[in-house]
Structure 1
Amino acid sequence: MDPAPCPCGSGLRRQRCCALDLATLSPPDATAPVVPLLEQAEAALRDNDPAAAEIALCAALELAPGREDALFALHRLRRQQGRISAAETLLRRMVSINPNNFAATNELTLMLLGRGALAEAETHARNAIRIAPRNAQAHNLMGLVMTEANRALIGEYHYREVLRLLDRDDAVTLANLAWNLKTQGRIEEARLLYARSLDINPTVLQSVLGWARTEEADRKFPRALELVEQAEALAPGNQAVALTRATVLARQGETEAALARLSRLGEGNGLGPAELSEQGRLLDRLGRYPEAFAAYDAGKSRALELGARRYLDDAARDMAARLRGFFTERRLATLPRATTRTDTPQPIFIVGFPRSGTTLIEQTLSVHPRIAAGDELPFINDATHLAQRLFASPLTYPDALCELWMGDQREGLDLLRDHYLARVRQAGILREGARWFTDKMPLNETHLGLIHLMFPEAPIIHLLRHPLDVVLSVYSNHLTHGLFCAAELATTAKHYALIADLIAHYRANIPALRYHAVRYEDVVDHQEREIRALLGFIGEAFDPACLQFEKNQRYARTASYAQVTEKLYDRSRYRYRHYRSQLEPVLPLLAPIIERLGYTV
């Protein structure tokens, strides 16, 4: 019998934890003898004795490892101790043992949502509704997940279901719905809902802060600061309040004041990951570059301490290898293509690594009356999961596309295309007079082969920016795209190089790819020339309004939302030069890509 504790950190032996065979669990009525241990744990927690509670819970789970109430109690204890990864592991076990456990499903969904694992959170949120279709909290979970996943109309539906099921106004739900409408650009409706929320309960910090951030996004900075003061009165010293105030001050150009606010907050219990990253960006703006990078480092370290996921290196390399192995010129020559529909607007795919300038280009194009803004649409990624089921294939994507050689699956790509377009319609992004809509989901370029098969005529605009600038900018933000590559500087560079090599493979093997590369630096230097060329590639006439993208009133749901409300500036161009020594460790990874793309160091 191995006495060693499980590496997951639960505190249980491995045989009673991650190596547990669920088929060997005793039926619930056979686990009654552990009830006294659970009562001991409960009494210890009431007496503020977590050590004694842990001993009792671990003893109970040694005897009855499938006991759900014991697992849930240990999960709560691990959360209180800040051992987030262990807490999540325990929840996952509960859901594996009993997929109909609503409480565990609810908690797991919220944890996954909190760390940005949206696809997995959606799986469990959907299951919560299957378990309890008339439960308001189940619909609230779906509202939260769909709003964060940029499926705002679906999220709106579920929030309105919450209100219908409650049969009354609820302050928190109204605030959640208001935030959802804000992401749709329906700012005035959001304001009205925030007002209703605060009329019901003026002490809900979430409502006050959400309203403040909505006003900040709408560039109503004095009103935003009024609401921040209200939030400060409710929660003095709160990090989220301080971060919101700093964000508003920074957008007003009061960088020193914003930095001072965050610095004072850090004198207490220290700053969280988001606050440290914002501190770094403020220091960068003031030219204090070594301090800025130290803040970025501290933010990443703090995030990992709090349970943020590390880069899924093996999964990334396996994915790239399978895509390169499948999408070869020889195989692509034998596969069908979807036909192009003429009864609905068509996608323009704006691809590029996060922080490469895709939001700038989307804001520019969506000023054009014939181009609607789609933002970050997850529907290509959905198609990669749908292919296996839709084609009844025993293989996973991309190999499931081999079914397209079968006589009864020759129109399979048309089905994937229609599923994508139906999701776009449901998302409510199409507008009157638009011939096109944009899809700028980060790292869609991972699936250029599938995009070409589904939409062979679609324009693909690839944003290029100096790789060191991209990696630095990703590192200064907390992003989950790219299998959590942004967790560390080295893994950010590693994933950048992996994707760059994959794009080179696609371009070499798909000669018919309708591809146009745009350099961020060229847009800064020669804006009109580049935008004219871009619109010409798409097939639309030049519109001078596209040169004033900062007047675009839509809310861009990305980390660049504030930058694209300013006129075109060049302060982010070759920003890496201020951080040469800090970026030196990743230069060997990026040097071949830098040379291939025509950049220098």
Structure 2
Amino acid sequence: MTTPQTNLTVEQALTQAHAHWNAGQADQAEQLCQQVLALWPGQSDALHLMGLMAHAYGNLDLAIDHLRRASLAPRAPAIYLSNLAEMCRQAGQLADAEQAGRRAVAMDAMMVAGWNNLGIILQEAGKLEESLTCLQRVVTLQPDYPEAHNNLGNTLKRLGRLDQARSHYEQALKLAPSYAEAFSNLSNLLNDLGRPDEALASARRAIDANPRLSDAYINAAAVELARDRYDEALRWVDSLLAYAPLHVGALGVRATILRRLSRLDEALADARRAVAAAPDNGEAQNILGEVLQAQDKIDEALAAFDRAAGSLGFAPEKALINRGVLLMEQGDKDAAKQAFDDVLKQFPRSASAWFNMADLHRFTPGDPGLAAMEALIGPGGLQTESDRTALYFAIGKAWMDIGDAERAFTYLDEGNRRKRSTFAYDAAAVDRWFSDIIAAFPAELISRPAIALPESDLTVFVVGMPRSGTTLVEQVLASHPAVFGAGELSTLQSLVNQAGGVPAVAQKLSPENEALLGRQYLDAVRPMAGSHRRLIDKMPSNFLFAGLIARILPEARIIHVRRDPVDTCLSCYTKLFTREQLFSYDQAELAAFYRNYERLMDHWRAILPADRLIEVRYEDVVGDIETEARRLTDFCGLNWDPACVEFHKTSRTIRTASLNQVRSPLYSSSINRWRAYAPHLGPLLAGLGVDPAAAPADSAEAAAASPGKRTGKAGARRGVKPTAAD
């Protein structure tokens, strides 16, 4: 049988077509294949080559169509099915890919490429044990195959066997020293192991080897994102998007960075672009849901998480956890706990699910959840450093619930040590920084006339140390119908950073610049307030900027929340924060930071007007909620509303570490809580100058001695139920 026009046999035409294709002469190759197909429709070899050509030119749908038809031929080689499987995988059609891949290896059990492709497909589908079997077969059949070692490393990493994964990445690099993908994957693994500098170096080597390797840019961005270096992370992602503007992973990471920076409209735009480019991508749906959640678009966020939960691969686990966290933020504890229980039924090794569940759960002796968590950090357990660190904190909390301080601090000390080892922190430099802030904002600067700024009385800043009761105070005020609780806004921090940071910003405080910064802040937060008269910005670390606030927002009010120093620091030390609080993971450093915080607040107290700064003690709020709530509403220029006393009934989103406590009535058991753990707090107590043997001060006496009482006085103590709120 010969083709028309060329007078070649089909075999000859196909031989020439392959030769043209291999020589880069695609037009000639395609012409010959079309002639074969005109003579013999469905000829599998011609269809297969047409599929390879379509794939090479980026037409994946056409490539899959050609290969499907090629694979229908009774005598189609197994490699055709294997190639079809790989193209379906690239298109996200994992079910079809798996079917074709299994047929390929059933036809040829010695085909290395077939087992390799099937192993990758099963890996992406989350069928990790089967993937492991396939890829182990590949390295047995061909031990010097670097790609197989790289792929096996990926499966082992997802199984949590990080040491084994690393050895296979390193073996791949021994076999192929410039193997960019192996460098990139090693970067991802090193980041999980808490070795960010090595991880970034490995990502750079991957990019040097292949400047178009997208995963390497994403892994480099992930390293910087984990260190809260958002500008650096954006630079890596934007470098990738410069040549791949619709890269789904890059758009997703960019949306995550922008969400962390509170640039939510931009984050939403990128997340929607990612979903539009790949509607079935579960990770893109998760990121969209997270941005919508940050915008309090709860129903839309839940819908995105539901779509992610129905996808293939590893997105469903994250989606179910995200759903649980959202329910927890909304105050639906029962539904949140059920969500985490459901995750753990499907993914019993999910550190994130255990960590969140532990925050909701009250552990008792013999609790099976505690044993399960301890097993996960034992031999054969989880190896990812961030997962292990989270579990140490969760187990520490469990033993505190049970009342075993010795065991609790064994885990908490180790969790803090692990977290502290992942970043650099210079306590002496921080000490100098606080001194520089004090020097940059003298009384003369604060007292000079300010330019009047309309609506500068909108915001009430609630500041203080983390875990000092700031969330409780915000919740009390946000229960007033004229107040909107905006939570922890990074708006002011971003403006300060753009202006050069503190204390440098003080050198730029001309009246015009002060007014400009004030307007920029108000323009950013005013839409959140809606019709409310007051907006609460409850970013605790804004205590650093109290002097700046007085200059740029002359009518703004600042509420400083104080709590017993040791109780505050203990609560910090026992918490793995979502936002970085780098001072809190070493007792001596934590004490030093607290002393600097006290020093700075002493300065603000001395120079800020009494009608702009008020101080409230957590212990006073617990002891006499109505008196303190009235004092706070008076300070904010609001009429009294009894809803402030029933704050735990107020329905609103809360995203701080205290979100579970402020949903319940007040309790007094958090006062002087540290005394039960004093033997384990030596460096902290020494740093704070506290004698653990000293008798606890009477709460009423301590309240009267507080320098924070500017107006009013605490009323008679009332009986307090021992039932919740930090």
TM-score by length of 1: 0.77
Segment drifting more, 125-134 vs 548-557: 125-134
Contact 2:200 2:220 in 1 (8 A): yes
Segment drifting more, 141-150 vs 446-455: 141-150
Aligned runs of 1:115-514 on 2, under 5 Å? 115-117=227-229, 121=233, 133-166=245-278, 168-201=279-312, 204-220=316-332, 223-224=335-336, 227-228=339-340, 230-250=342-362, 256=367, 258-268=369-379, 269=381, 272-304=388-420, 308-333=422-447, 337-342=450-455, 346-388=458-500, 397-405=502-510, 410-425=511-526, 429-431=528-530, 433-479=531-577, 484-511=582-609, 514=612
State the alpha-carbon separation in 1 of the partners of residues 490 and 208 from structure 2.
27
Change (3 A) 1:517 1:100: farther
Contact 1:384 1:397 in 2 (8 A): yes
State the alpha-carbon separation in 2 of the partners of residues 385 and 234 from structure 1.
43
Change (3 A) 1:504 1:292: same
Contact 1:276 1:298 in 2 (8 A): yes
Change (3 A) 1:55 1:83: farther
SS at match of 2:684: helix
Contact 1:250 1:258 in 2 (8 A): no
Contact 1:442 1:481 in 2 (8 A): no
5+ long unaligned stretches in structure 1 = 1-38, 389-395
Give the alignment partner of residue 567 of structure 1, picking from 665, 679, 691.
Answer: 665
Contact 1:112 1:121 in 2 (8 A): yes
Question: What is the CA distance between 1:222 and its match in structure 2?
Answer: 5.4
Provide, for residues 22-66 of structure 1, a one-character-per-residue CA deviation record: whole Å limited to 9, x for no partner.
Answer: xxxxxxxxxxxxxxxxx99878757989679769969999xx9xx
User: Over aligned residues, Cα RMSD in angstroms?
Assistant: 4.0
Question: What is the CA distance between 1:571 and its match in structure 2?
Answer: 1.7
State the alpha-carbon separation in 1 of the partners of residues 598 and 207 from structure 2.
38
State the alpha-carbon separation in 1 of the partners of residues 212 and 600 from structure 2.
41
SS at match of 1:462: strand
Which residue type is aligned with residue 503 of structure 2? P
Contact 1:524 1:569 in 2 (8 A): yes
State the alpha-carbon separation in 1 of the partners of residues 360 and 618 from structure 2.
27
Change (3 A) 1:82 1:120: closer
| Structure showing greater Rg | 2
Question: What is the CA distance between 1:109 and its match in structure 2?
Answer: 2.5
State the alpha-carbon separation in 1 of the partners of residues 216 and 626 from structure 2.
54
Segment drifting more, 582-591 vs 101-110: 101-110
SS at match of 2:285: helix
Aligned runs of 1:42-81 on 2, under 5 Å? 72=184, 75=187, 78-79=190-191
State the alpha-carbon separation in 2 of the partners of residues 520 and 347 from structure 1.
21
Greater relative CO (CA pairs within 8 A, separation 6+): 1
Contact 1:185 1:554 in 2 (8 A): no
Change (3 A) 1:376 1:89: farther
5+ long unaligned stretches in structure 2 = 1-143, 154-163, 707-726
Change (3 A) 1:55 1:143: closer
Provide, for residues 145-188 of structure 1, a one-character-per-residue CA deviation record: whole Å limited to 9, x for no partner.
Answer: 2334455454333322222343x343322233233333444433
Change (3 A) 1:337 1:125: farther
Q: What is the percentage of aligned positions where both structures have the same residue?
A: 27
State the alpha-carbon separation in 1 of the partners of residues 265 and 342 from structure 2.
30
Aligned residues between the structures: 538
Which residue type is aligned with residue 528 of structure 1? E
Give the match for residue 137 of structure 2: none
Change (3 A) 1:315 1:510: same
